[in-house]
Amino acid sequence: MPVSPTGWTAIFKPYREEPIVGWDDLGSPLIIDPTTGKRIGVHDLADHEFCNAERADPAFVGVIPADGWKLRWPDGSDDTIFAFAVQANGVMRPIVDSFLGYGSPFYPEEGARPPLFIRNVQP
């Protein structure tokens, strides 16, 4: 997914996300047409219906090793944190096993009790 220079993303049906690159004179979001490379209004994307605009997550700008860090879930189980991904706004997200064979940044579920960060220090 390309990074949005404006910090906003357009959401479409059937599901698709496109970075918003600006707004027209009437305040309607503009995106880049994937076939022509030209700026178009969100209502002009063929075969897709514009739903809404959402704040985009800041881009990831770095990764820091997380030797010895774990997430401890409310049920007492642990997940190993492989690294911390650093976003442009300074937020660090733990990278955990996605169960698909690769790591992915962790985003807590809204309204759910978040896990604890545990540092496992070896003597």
Confidence (pLDDT) at 122: 64
Do residues 30 and 39 make contact, with C-beta atoms less than 8 angstroms apart?
A: yes
Q: Report pLDDT digits (tens) over 69-123.
A: 999 988 998 888 989 999 888 889 899 876 777 777 887 777 888 888 888 766 5
Residue 16 lies in a domain: yes
Q: Report pLDDT digits (tens) over 29-55.
A: 999 998 999 999 999 998 999 999 998
The whole domain housing 51 covers: 8-55
Whether residues 51 and 64 share a domain: the answer is no
Confidence (pLDDT) at 1: 47
In this prediction, residues 2-12 reach a mean pLDDT of: 80
Q: Is the peptide bond before 115 cis (omega within 30 degrees of 0)?
A: no
Q: Which residue type sits at 43?
A: H
Please name every residue paired with 104 in a beta bridge, in sequence order, or none if there are none.
Answer: 96
Tokens 């997550």 correspond to what residue?
57
For residue 46, give the 3-state DSSP assignment.
coil
Number of domains within the chain: 2
**pLDDT above 70 (res 17):** yes
Q: Global pTM?
A: 0.57
